[in-house]
Structure 1
Amino acid sequence: MREIKLLLVEDDEDDYIITRDLLDDIFSRRYRLDWASDLETARKQLSANQHDVCLMDYALGPEDGVSLLKEATALGFSSPIIMLTGQDDERLDEEALSAGAVDYLVKSNLTQSRLARAIRYAIARREMEVERVERLRAQAENRSKSEFLAHLSHELRTPLTSILGYTDLLLKQKTRNDNDDHLQIIKRNGQHLLSLLNDVLDLSKIEAGKFELENKAVNFPEFLSDVYHLILVRAEDKNIRLLVEADQALPKFIEADPTRLRQILLNLLGNAIKFTDSGSVTLQVSWDFAEGIAEGSDSSEQEKEPDIANTEAAGHSDAKAAEIVFAIKDTGIGIEEDEIPKLFKPFSQTKNVESRSENGTGLGLAISQRLAQRLGGGVEVSSVSGEGSCFTVTIKAGIEESVEQQLLNIELIEANRPRLNAQQINARILIADDLPDLRQLLGHLIENTGAQVIFAINGQDAINQVRQAQQLKSPFDLILMDVQMPVMGGLEATQILRKEGFTGPILALTAATMRGERERCLAAGYSDHLSKPVDESQLMERILLHLGQIKIAQKEVTPNHILLVEDDHDTRVITAMLIESLGLEVSQAATGAEAIASFNHSIPDMVLMDLNLPDCAGLELAAQLRSLAKGTSCILVALSGQELSKEEQDVSPFDHHLLKPVNLDVIKQVIA
């Protein structure tokens, strides 16, 4: 136990001696007691603010202790103060506590146990308060950091969109000229700058606990083919053979986060190519079903995150856990054994790297290790200096036991892959962005597909364009809307358009990449989310996808009256607006009691219900509503912030389960 520092403000020496003796018995002299017998000394001690607790007498000569108690904070004293008095008076007790004392002790009733309890309680309370303040300060700092990173991301990604986009346009010109080599240099360096930005943001998000995974069904052979072709050019530039091998048939589909897995593999393959001057780089893939998964480890003693891996990388509830292993082998310069521990530390590079001109931030391997851990595995490395290295990535994925399997053949996959027709978009598309360069770039890309493009310079202009188009019986089929614009931003404009009845797809364009940005866009009424710089192939794929969904909006809607049960006001309002934009009647309830009252008044055709309500459990409320709706065709739909297992869905009283946030397309599919 550390030494406790106490300050006693007491003008009576006998009371000082009595208090000191009690403290000796309590703390066995493991404390330091400073005695202030007058107001001047007391003020100096309080100003020093060096004590854990102050015991202050109520009567201090011509003044009372309450006056000094009120003055203590102004003097800089931040520790708890316990008031001591010679009389038991409820009024004095209340006055002392109101002035800031944490306790009030009567000297005539003062015992060893009571004094000990009061001091220990005061210290514990103080420590809890200090911890709370530190936690709030840390949270505020994290918020500030997140806001700064979001702003930084936006400010850097926006010009990069123009740089990379216009470079691609110039390179696509049929007439080759002497500037093509210069344009390739601009493109390579722009892409390198973007990768560095992504590395810094990713590491910051991981360390701040704001990193999110998005598991989905992935065509595994096509995914490997994509990785191969993305990195092939770099290997060919160095005249290095790039191979992708699998000694066994691979599952056609896996459940994983393809973006993060691709990031890991491209990073490690890129490193292997960078530090290999001759020979080959090989990606070997193997897999097997497994009851558990060995966490990735390496000599760098990285922290493991098994709890996160189990919850975030488990895959689809119907899929069985499987272990997938990627071994990246090269014939490069290798790594000295004593340098291996540095590999996975941020901003740290080995001597072999430092001696070369192809330097980076030293973040790539650190991020890859952390990403692999979040995907349920890790990264290990073995190397012989001068002979080459092998980085082994292990992840956990969901794979159906009955999934189709096939031998990996990269050439056959590419030959059979369907190609998008560049002239197949027949639609009216509105592009809303305040930056002329980006408007022109996106317009050029989309007009090349045969689509008709109209522009808006901000959210208000977009609303005006949509209204005018509807009046002219020539509505837009799709809108690309930037999120951050002057006059009116995309979020507000989208909410207004949905409220006014626009049911077509609205795709968000945003340079913000922090956690929750996609959910914020979807909650505002956007149909989808695209990050800047916009990848042309991804842009066209999303446009075609959402244009294909227009027919869903034209289906005859079955329910006419929907009851929306949601305790979060903002979520309830925007969801109601989305439903109303489809021409449906919406009743709203913020609690289970309100839902039952609304149900008793009029049984709706459908109930959209949050599972977490302030006054009752969603499942219990659903059972009640199911009973009240007996004999009707009322449909119950659950809205949940986390995905329910198949077993939970099977036993619940709901007809459908939707994962928040829901957007207009999801709602249309449920009610259609």
Structure 2
Amino acid sequence: MQPKNLGQYGDQKSEIERISYFPQKRLKLFPRFGAIVILALVYYGIAEISRHIAATPQDVTPVWPPDGFASAATLIFGYQVLPGVLIGSFLANIWAFFNGDNPYTAIASVLQVLGIAIGTTVGTGIGNYLLRRFIRSDNPFTRLDGVYIFLICTSAVAPMINATSGVTSLCLGGQVPWTAFSDVWFVWWISNVSGICIFTPALLSFHQLYRQEIASLFTFNTFSNIIPNIRNKLAPFKQRLLEVSSLLSIVLFIGYVSFYQQQHLEYILIPCLVWAVLRFGQFGATNLIVIITTIATLGTVRGLGSFASQNLNNSLVQLQSFIVVIVVTTLSLLAILSEKRQAFRKLKQSEISLTERTNQLEHSQAKLNAAASVLEQQNIDLFEAKEIADQANNAKTEFLSNMSHELRTPLNAVLGLVQLLKSSNNLNALERSDLQTVHDSGIHLLYLIEDILDISKIESGKMELQFQEIHLETFLKKIIAIIQVQANNKKLDLICEFSEDLPKNIRADRKRLKQVLINLLNNAVKFTKKGHVIFRVYTDRIETGTEKSNSFASIRFEIEDSGVGIRPEKLESIFLPFEQTGETKFKVKGTGLGLAISQKIIKMIGGKITVDSQIGVGSRFLFTVNLEVLPTKIASQREMTSPNLSSVNDQSLAKKLPLNILLAEDNMVNQKVASRVLERLGYRIDIVNNGLEVLEITRKQMYDVVLMDIQMPEMDGIEATKHLLDSEYRPYIIALTANAMSSDRLVCLAAGMNDYLSKPINIELLVEALWRSPMGRRVSQESKK
């Protein structure tokens, strides 16, 4: 959000001078002078263009691109081009603030504009210095720490200097009253941050492309070799031209309907950015950010699109929040994928080295590749045949299932390793905070995936409730333990009021009831800045059964908070899919599916969620459901067989529960995560890569537990399980898979597996599953004696 006359900028991060990604040779006098002049003219020209096409009717420019250009130029060429920033900033502001009524006002105007220009230049230089001081990789966007240093030092801290200097100069010159200092400062700062986050990564990617692709054509090549090299470079681009065209068409269409037709589809652009990251790398992703943010900005400043609002500040804050979300998400994903590629590259190098040492391994690899090719072709044929036979709704469900599997596989590595790292004693407070941020972000992404799958299953009528025995008191205590942590972090009072006549044991869908309560309590904590959240559960009435019928209890659940409240006209729409209300800063923290899913689940049970709310006072969500009451002697099997959850972090669990464990998993990253988790619990496990190896090793050795992946080469987990059922000795088989649909669980259990866990690995659920094994039940019973 930048006023027309407040066009300043912050900084972008780069590499240390000794690193080759941005080599900064000292320019000779004439080239240096030319670079300064060009930078000054570019800065001035971009500023004028931004004011004419990207400013609101109130002369507010929400994104200030000149700062992104200045920051990128400084990172590439070094401090020697900073005079160009000074001149460009001076030219960009002198015509906006110059007052020539008399010599005094003219001199004062020049001085205040000079103060703005100096602040811009100093901010750029300090941002450049901080990045060079703290960056540790060859490319700031290939590691997560590099991305965070860029976002914090260059994109956030450095613009503070710019904004402070600029607004102070305007206040001293009488252009802005001192009472408006903070508001104008924030507008100035956030527009600089947006300009740097959008344009600097894109410009740096152009520079990288030039160094790696274009400049290399003319290095150590004769003229006769240049043309063939150019053709070789362009060949992959021609092959992917259709994909590029498709991606741009989709982005332009979604951008048009979102920012020019009032359709709230703007966050659907995030999968397009993920597409660009996966297929086109840093160059494609960063330049797609420029395209998307340009469309969003041009629509918003004209009062159109998803972020359009009568309140200009709200409209622009939503726009800039959207920009920050897509930039942080895209750059973080770029870094994660880059780190993954580096790991795989090292692994590939080791594989090649081993292959060169033995012909036998080479032959085996060829056979595996051939078998994989055959299986891949078979899968393609099966998929095409199924696609013809299935209806559109089944196709959508299949697509979401596949996406869930692919997204859960890298999440398994992220969340599994983060859980292990968090328990390390060698971390400082900052590292623990960073790990918690990564963990929370991963959990948030997992919730988004599950929300999308749930809404799809509900709409297609494929969601089924799985009723089971629940010990109600224990069930509620576990929910409170989850929410208490969040309430403590925000210093809120979590008050629990449960009536004494609550039934001990009920029959309900544990997962879905927990999902609804967690969602409502999470919302209460999220939208409450201070005060309290009250969780009430009490019995409305009890219908006593007869010898031929069971008893039922009408149980009422209430969640009350002292939060921001909901406007009356929004009370009905909050239960619609993708609908979000409340303060703007909360709207980017979810999909808007939570309440819609919760309402549909409660309706399936036979109730309805209602809400009472008052702005500034708080909200109260409540629902009543009729649940079957079980005799007190019948306890939940889950509660009886599960140990104390303190064993989750017990590194001596293997001594309490001695198990011989086999892991069947073909993905090396998943192998590493599972083995590290089990080693932390004290176990030493054996690992095989497919179902055939499972059958081979179980003939030689007995195992108490087999953790079985489903999708494996040569023989999958389902087929391997069927063979194990026919063997003399049958281990306890736990499915451990990224296939997370309810139908996947039924398939695993129908095949003869004893238990089911979905990826990412949840250590608590894994420990509970181990305790449910025959050995675990024996140990548990002996301990009770």
CA-CA distance at 1:444 after TM superposition: 2.2
CA 1:356 to 1:143, structure 2 compared with 1: closer, same or farther past 3 Å?
A: closer
Answering whether residue 605 of structure 2 is matched by residue 375 of structure 1, we say yes
CA-CA distance at 1:376 after TM superposition: 2.1
Distance 1:499 1:403 in 2: 37
Distance 2:755 2:549 in 1: 26
Counterpart of 1:8? none
Counterpart of 1:211? 463
Residue in structure 2 matching 1:495, options 716, 719, 722: 722
- Which amino acid is the alignment partner of residue 548 of structure 1? M
Does structure 1 conserve the Cα–Cα contact (< 8 Å) formed by 2:770 and 2:776?
Answer: no
Mind listing any 5+ residue stretches in structure 2 that lack a counterpart? 1-386, 636-642, 780-785
Residue in structure 1 matching 2:622, options 392, 400, 404: 392
Answering whether residue 507 of structure 2 is matched by residue 258 of structure 1, we say no
CA-CA distance at 1:260 after TM superposition: 0.8
Distance 2:548 2:398 in 1: 35
CA 1:533 to 1:363, structure 2 compared with 1: closer, same or farther past 3 Å?
A: same
Q: Deviations for 1:259-281, whole angstroms, at most 9, x for unmatched residues? A: 11111011011111111111000
Answering whether residue 669 of structure 2 is matched by residue 437 of structure 1, we say yes
Q: CA RMSD in A?
A: 2.8
Answering whether residue 684 of structure 2 is matched by residue 452 of structure 1, we say yes
- Which amino acid is the alignment partner of residue 450 of structure 2? N
Answering whether residue 565 of structure 2 is matched by residue 334 of structure 1, we say yes
Does structure 1 conserve the Cα–Cα contact (< 8 Å) formed by 2:564 and 2:616?
Answer: yes
Distance 1:434 1:236 in 2: 41
Counterpart of 1:223? 475
CA-CA distance at 1:168 after TM superposition: 0.8
Distance 1:401 1:497 in 2: 38
Does structure 2 conserve the Cα–Cα contact (< 8 Å) formed by 1:252 and 1:404?
Answer: no
Counterpart of 1:347? 578
Distance 1:402 1:176 in 2: 47
Distance 1:281 1:174 in 2: 34
Answering whether residue 522 of structure 2 is matched by residue 270 of structure 1, we say yes
Does structure 2 conserve the Cα–Cα contact (< 8 Å) formed by 1:245 and 1:282?
Answer: yes
Q: Deviations for 1:168-197, whole angstroms, at most 9, x for unmatched residues? A: 111111222242211111001000000111
Does structure 1 conserve the Cα–Cα contact (< 8 Å) formed by 2:735 and 2:748?
Answer: yes
**Aligned to 2:714, what secondary structure does the other structure show?**
coil
Distance 2:389 2:705 in 1: 43
Counterpart of 1:193? 445
CA 1:229 to 1:402, structure 2 compared with 1: closer, same or farther past 3 Å?
A: closer
Counterpart of 2:554? 323
Counterpart of 1:476? 703
Does structure 2 conserve the Cα–Cα contact (< 8 Å) formed by 1:205 and 1:514?
Answer: no
Distance 2:507 2:766 in 1: 23
Distance 1:524 1:484 in 2: 14
Residue in structure 1 matching 2:596, options 355, 366, 372: 366
CA-CA distance at 1:207 after TM superposition: 0.8
Q: Deviations for 1:274-299, whole angstroms, at most 9, x for unmatched residues? A: 1111100010111144559xxxxxxx
Q: Deviations for 1:548-595, whole angstroms, at most 9, x for unmatched residues? A: 37879xxxxxxxxxxxxxxxxxxxxxxxxxxxxxxxxxxxxxxxxxxx
Structure number with larger C-alpha Rg:
1
Residue in structure 1 matching 2:760, options 522, 530, 533: 533
Distance 1:538 1:498 in 2: 25
Answering whether residue 423 of structure 2 is matched by residue 151 of structure 1, we say no
- Which amino acid is the alignment partner of residue 167 of structure 1? V
Distance 2:727 2:542 in 1: 52
Does structure 2 conserve the Cα–Cα contact (< 8 Å) formed by 1:323 and 1:394?
Answer: yes
CA-CA distance at 1:357 after TM superposition: 5.6
Distance 1:547 1:449 in 2: 19
Distance 2:462 2:487 in 1: 34
Counterpart of 1:63? none
Does structure 2 conserve the Cα–Cα contact (< 8 Å) formed by 1:504 and 1:550?
Answer: no
Q: Per residue, is there more helix in 1 or in 2?
A: 2
Q: Deviations for 1:191-233, whole angstroms, at most 9, x for unmatched residues? A: 0000111100001011111112111111111111111111111
Q: Deviations for 1:345-370, whole angstroms, at most 9, x for unmatched residues? A: 001122x2445465321101000101
**Aligned to 1:326, what secondary structure does the other structure show?**
strand
Alignment of 1:411-422 (within 5 A): 419-420=646-647, 422=653
Q: Deviations for 1:319-365, whole angstroms, at most 9, x for unmatched residues? A: 42221111000001111111111110001122x24454653211010
Distance 2:674 2:662 in 1: 10
CA-CA distance at 1:249 after TM superposition: 3.3
Alignment of 1:168-179 (within 5 A): 168-177=419-428, 178-179=430-431
Distance 1:508 1:429 in 2: 13
Distance 1:503 1:401 in 2: 34
Distance 2:630 2:676 in 1: 43
**Aligned to 1:509, what secondary structure does the other structure show?**
strand
Does structure 2 conserve the Cα–Cα contact (< 8 Å) formed by 1:425 and 1:451?
Answer: no
TM-score normalized by structure 2? 0.46
CA-CA distance at 1:317 after TM superposition: 8.9
- Which amino acid is the alignment partner of residue 736 of structure 2? L
**Aligned to 2:657, what secondary structure does the other structure show?**
coil
CA-CA distance at 1:400 after TM superposition: 3.2
Alignment of 1:3-42 (within 5 A): none
Does structure 2 conserve the Cα–Cα contact (< 8 Å) formed by 1:334 and 1:388?
Answer: yes
Residue in structure 2 matching 1:467, options 694, 699, 703: 699
Does structure 2 conserve the Cα–Cα contact (< 8 Å) formed by 1:251 and 1:403?
Answer: no
**Aligned to 1:346, what secondary structure does the other structure show?**
coil
Distance 2:556 2:503 in 1: 13
Q: Per residue, is there more strand in 1 or in 2?
A: 1
Distance 1:427 1:140 in 2: 46
Does structure 2 conserve the Cα–Cα contact (< 8 Å) formed by 1:281 and 1:329?
Answer: yes
CA 1:239 to 1:376, structure 2 compared with 1: closer, same or farther past 3 Å?
A: same
Residue in structure 2 matching 1:167, options 414, 418, 440: 418
Distance 1:318 1:477 in 2: 41
Distance 1:322 1:483 in 2: 40
- Which amino acid is the alignment partner of residue 444 of structure 1? R
- Which amino acid is the alignment partner of residue 381 of structure 1? V
- Which amino acid is the alignment partner of residue 533 of structure 1? P
Does structure 1 conserve the Cα–Cα contact (< 8 Å) formed by 2:415 and 2:761?
Answer: no
Distance 1:430 1:163 in 2: 22
Does structure 2 conserve the Cα–Cα contact (< 8 Å) formed by 1:268 and 1:328?
Answer: yes
Distance 2:423 2:453 in 1: 31
Between 1:203-212 and 1:460-469, the stretch displaced more is 460-469
Identity across matched positions, percent: 37
Alignment of 1:505-654 (within 5 A): 505-548=732-775
**Aligned to 1:452, what secondary structure does the other structure show?**
coil
**Aligned to 1:161, what secondary structure does the other structure show?**
helix
CA 1:137 to 1:330, structure 2 compared with 1: closer, same or farther past 3 Å?
A: farther
Between 1:371-380 and 1:437-446, the stretch displaced more is 437-446
Alignment of 1:300-319 (within 5 A): 319=550
